[in-house]
Structure 1
Amino acid sequence: MKFSLGFSPCPNDTFIFDALINKKIDTEGIDFDLHLEDVETLNQWAMQGRLDISKISYGVLPLVLPQYELLDAGGALGKGVGPLLISRRPIPLTAINDCRIAIPGQRTTAHLLFSLAFPEARKKEFMVFSGVEDAVLSGAVDCGVIIHENRFTYQQRGLVKLIDLGEFWERETGAPIPLGGIVVRKGLDAGLAQKINDLIRKSLEYAFSHYPQLPEFVRSHAQEMDEQVMRQHIDLYVNDYSLTLGEDGKKAIGILLQTYERLHAGAIFL
């Protein structure tokens, strides 16, 4: 039995799925056709229903719920893990509405959190997350929202933080930040969906039991990322919520869905 599976090449995802993809655990007769793509591509694919199992941004979850259901394991939630708004020089937050802003994908959680903080900002340019820093440095945009490993490297390039959008979310909601989750196509036997969820959890438990060892699967897809940055990435984005959402995680997702509906109704998050 084989299913198509998509997640990003970022260290948090490859760390979680290494044991599953490379059969370091018993996959109980299930095989996977792997697709490694940036999360915005995965978001678009999920809206098209292309994959059986996929990592998505929680920002796109409301649009894919007709076709997919959210799994309990494998996601990224937490406190202090949100995107940052950065620029070449300090800019007053009152001036952000007039700035050109690079956003790492239209249907991403980063865009939703930015829209919550700056609902009047309209000059947005959507791009792959890895291009945001260069767009800011070149002057193509005034500021940009960064995620993933760029959180750890932006200062090395002379950029400055204007606001932590995750901290803004936490102050507004009191909830952890739902960044990304794993969805499975509806219509699968309930027992099979649960088995896939359990395998993802076992894969992460295997990774945790061998950490701080970094699997070759993580290293090979991290491009030229420094090993310390890989570990920072994993330490920040992979935690107990990745094993199970728990009540706090489920509550946070509920708040995010309500926030999406409110922003979308106001034509703020489109």
Structure 2
Amino acid sequence: MLSRNLTLGFSPCPNDTFIFDALVHGRVDCDGLTFTERLEDVETLNKLALSAVLDVSKISYHLLGHILDDYLLLRSGGALGRGCGPLLVAREPLDATRLAGRRIALPGRYTTAALLLRLFDPSLTEFVYLPFDRIMAAVADGSVDAGVIIHESRFTYPSYGLTKVVDLGEWWEQETGHPIPLGGIAARRSLGEDILSALERGIEKSVAFAFQNPGVARPYIRAHSQEMSDQVCDAHIGLYVNDFSRSLGEEGEAAVQLLLERAAAAGIVPPRRQPLFIG
């Protein structure tokens, strides 16, 4: 049995609170590990990981390419799938091949959304970084010409009178044949293989528990998503939590590796020098 308390960061979004409820509340065994959770938006978590503040953290796969000297990727707990990528939206229809020169809002410099847009059109340079929940309003009031939206914004952007310009996840899937890696769970390499392996198993158990007992996590989910309806919470979980959240498997691992390879080839992240995974 291991005996250690670890700092664990994840977002207050329903997919993360659904995944981690059982782990942080001791509903599943994690070989004696306990956790002090810190809930922050994804770009704040990315910045904390850049400074190596937390032992374990949800991060954007884009950011992973910048922190591999200190962290590796756990195979469980992440968000990866099909039909769940970021959307580029605008007030009116735009030609997706003629976006150069337009001001585009992004939900953080290190988000996978930002990486995908840069891979989609390397000529784009006019970016405005905003919290993800302010992007739709900024597009709607004309502060920016377009914006890349994530999370529950996928379900609510029509209410702002916005239109989809391109589905960046769909573009990635058509371009590569792979599901889109959005966010994963990074853990300090210095924790050692025993703790890292226990973490990977514990998070997988937490996901399995959540699927088997969906009502148990509801109070924790709702406590951190009070502005969302139950329907939006359920849609959010249904979109971002799947079998890849239990374990990436060969297909998920290949998708992550390809994303980082393309990002490195484009000069967006450094070339990888460390193994991505345990073992």
| Matches of 2:159 and 2:216, distance apart in 1 | 26
Aligned-partner SS, 1:95: coil
Q: How much has 1:141 moved relative to structure 2?
A: 0.1
Q: Which amino acid aligns with 1:202?
A: K
**Compared with structure 1, are the counterparts of its residues 201 and 266 closer, same or farther at alpha carbon in structure 2 (3 Å cutoff)?**
closer
The alignment status of 1:88 with 2:91, answered yes or no, reads: yes
Percent identical pairs in the alignment equals 48
8 Å contact kept, 1:18–1:215: no
User: Which structure 2 residues correspond to residues 153-232 of structure 1 after superposition, within 5 A?
Assistant: 153-211=156-214, 215-232=218-235
Asked if 1:122 corresponds to 2:125, the answer is yes
- Please show how residues 20-39 of structure 1 align to structure 2 within 5 Å: 20-39=23-42
Distance 1:16 1:81 in 2: 17
Aligned length: 267
- Which residue does the alignment assign to 1:63? 66
| SS of equivalent to 1:93 | coil
Distance 1:24 1:214, change over 3 A: closer
- 2:261 and 2:158 map into 1 onto residues whose CA distance is 34
Amino acid at match of 1:241: F
Deviation at 1:129, TM superposition (A): 0.9
Q: Residue 263 of structure 2 aligns to which amino acid in structure 1?
A: Y
CA distance in 2, matches of 1:188, 1:174: 35
Equivalent position SS for 1:33? strand
Shift of 1:94: 3.0
Separation (CA, whole Å) in 2 of partners of 1:186 and 1:123? 36
Q: 1:10 aligns with which of 3, 13, 29?
A: 13
Structure 2 stretches of 5 or more lacking a match? 271-279
State how far apart, in whole Å, the 2-side matches of 1:213 and 1:88 are: 40
Q: Residue in 1 aligned with 2:43?
A: 40
Amino acid at match of 2:194: G
Unaligned runs of 5+ in 1: none
Tell me, what secondary structure is at the counterpart of 1:122?
Answer: coil
Give SS of 1:75's match: strand
After TM superposition, where is structure 1 displaced by more than 6 Å over at least 4 residues in a row? none
Report the Cα distance in structure 2 between the residues aligned to 1:75 and 1:201, rounded to whole angstroms. 10
Pairwise CA RMSD: 1.5
List per-residue Cα deviations over 1:223-253 (Å, max 9, x = no partner). 3101111111000100000000111101101
What amino acid sits opposite 1:171 in the alignment?
Q
Task: State the shift of 1:214 in Å.
Answer: 5.2
Structure 2 distance, partners of 1:179, 1:211, is 23
- Structure 1: distance between partners of 2:251 and 2:31: 31
2:108 alignment partner in structure 1: 105
Distance 1:20 1:94 in 2: 45
Higher helix share: 1
TM-score, normalised via structure 2 length? 0.92
Amino acid of the residue matched to residue 85 of structure 2?
A: G
| Matches of 2:160 and 2:258, distance apart in 1 | 35
